[in-house]
Amino acid sequence: MYHGYITSTPETHYDFLVVGAGVAGLRAAIELAEAGRVLVVAKDSLQESSSEYAQGGIAVALSDDDEVALHERDTLAAGDGLCDPDAVRALVGEGPAAIEQLIEWGAEFDREGARLVFAREGAHSRNRVLHARGDSTGSEIARALYHKAASLERIQFRSFAAVTDLLVADGEVAGAVACDASARHAVAIGASAVLLATGGLGCVYLETTNPDVATGDGVASGWRAGAEISDIEFVQFHPTALFLEGAPRFLLSEALRGEGAYLRNAQGERFMKRYHALEELAPRDVVSRAIVGEMRRTGAPCMYLDLTHFAPGFLARRFPRIYETCCKYGLDLAAQPAPVHPAAHYAMGGVRTDLDCRTNVARLFAAGEVASTGVHGANRLASNSLLEGVVFGARAGRAMREWSGKAPSSGASPPDLLFPEADGTQLRRLAWEKCGILREGVELEGLCQRLAATRWVQATPGRELHELRSRHIVLELIARCALVRRESRGAHYRADYPEKRPEFQKHSVISLTHDEVSFC
């Protein structure tokens, strides 16, 4: 089916292919450069990744009053019974050294004099969240990692419209297919091992804080290659995205509430005390459901985040990116409460891996948000995502070295080129309405039936069609797993099963070769 569509390039084989140029991908590439030639492929541009948009910070037990054991405890508590304890131990235990290494490589975190500044965010028991330039932490870490990676001559970078498929031969991954910028032909890239570090899937939903590139391509391509997908039903919805007409759903960081911002309804009343004892510092899923509940109770289209009580000049100094962006759209946070609405933000599940980021498909690895390592369980602890990218990106790089010099089988081919006959906007609306913050079995079952009935047809491929295919595959996986998980746990809330059930304190697993959802 790809015949005549793929074109060769003069140099199409690398020792290692890293798909994604965010924190996880860059950190893996640095580790891999010691063992062979590395190609890092970015979707769209090297600057467009979820890492670049990560405002909240990076959590690490480095302050004088903190301990790794406390960070571990908080992460396990947020995960609501589904964290892999060994994965959490690796994350928090290797975190301090990973941060110190970032600082050695030039990452500049906020300080008071010579001392690092640690902030507190929801569900953390200590001040342990580092920031850079207030609200540009992900961008700063990515900058430092890119600078380090670019200094290593064995690492090369290329941008494509998208990596659309994995090449598979004899049950092993042998490379990937990339759609070039013109979206009219594709390039086959061979590699001895491939890392999926493609980021999130927020653009499956109508309302999202994610950049436009976050269409779930890594999960979809992994699924099509036979990789197991785990815990994909656990999608975290950030409670406070900017809700202004004509403005993007810009993330208003949880750090704002950590610093003392209030949530108010249209009557100016602080309402979180009705929903949780921690009020504004409750876990994200609780705050998101509380906002939805208050909107339904009052009939309002949004709630408000109030920062007007902060000291003059504080917001512009502490959160310059957020403050300036809101001003750009006519909102002065120092003088006016910000209208907010929940939006899809982060996927806890994804391509299932072991502690070294190996998948069930030989030569295929996954790290960062695209992966399901077991770190986040049913609900991610705030600011653990950047740390996961750094720690598990390094782990992936070390593990992938085992394939250095071992060429994959020849004759690899991608799956058939078939695309869904579906309206992209309608698909995202269905995801939001039927598979969003509040879920119910009847609606999930209807959504699954509707998605299963979609016709798949041949078409001239381009970026939009590839992304539509990815969103359709990912939404169907989320809906199917959400339907079978008949309980409420973490970020997955079933109105018809509002309690946790012990028989579901297990991980969902689904794959192309074992198409029924199982639990383990």
Question: What residues are paired with 189 via a beta bridge?
Answer: 176
- Distance separating alpha carbons of residues 377 and 379, to the nearest angstrom: 6
Integer CA distances (angstroms), 22 to 230, 341, 486, in order: 22, 27, 34
Q: Are 361 and 173 in contact (CB under 8 A)?
A: yes
Length of the chain: 520
Q: Are 60 and 130 in contact (CB under 8 A)?
A: yes
| 3-state class (DSSP) for residue 267 | coil
- Distance separating alpha carbons of residues 144 and 116, to the nearest angstrom: 17
- Distance separating alpha carbons of residues 466 and 217, to the nearest angstrom: 8
| DSSP conformational letter for 327 | H
Concatenating the DSSP letter of every residue in 407-468 gives: PPPSS-BPPP--EE---HHHHHHHHHHHSSSSB-HHHHHHHHHHHHT--EE-----HHHHHH
Q: Residue 310, Cβ neighbours under 10 Å: how many?
A: 17
Q: Are 197 and 50 in contact (CB under 8 A)?
A: no
Is 501 a catalytic site residue? no
Strand pairing of 364-366 and 186-196?
parallel
Choose, from 89, 128, 284, 352, the residue flagged as catalytic.
Answer: 284
Question: What residues are paired with 489 via a beta bridge?
Answer: 492
Residue tagged 């598990």 (tokens): 392
**Which residues are annotated as catalytic?**
284
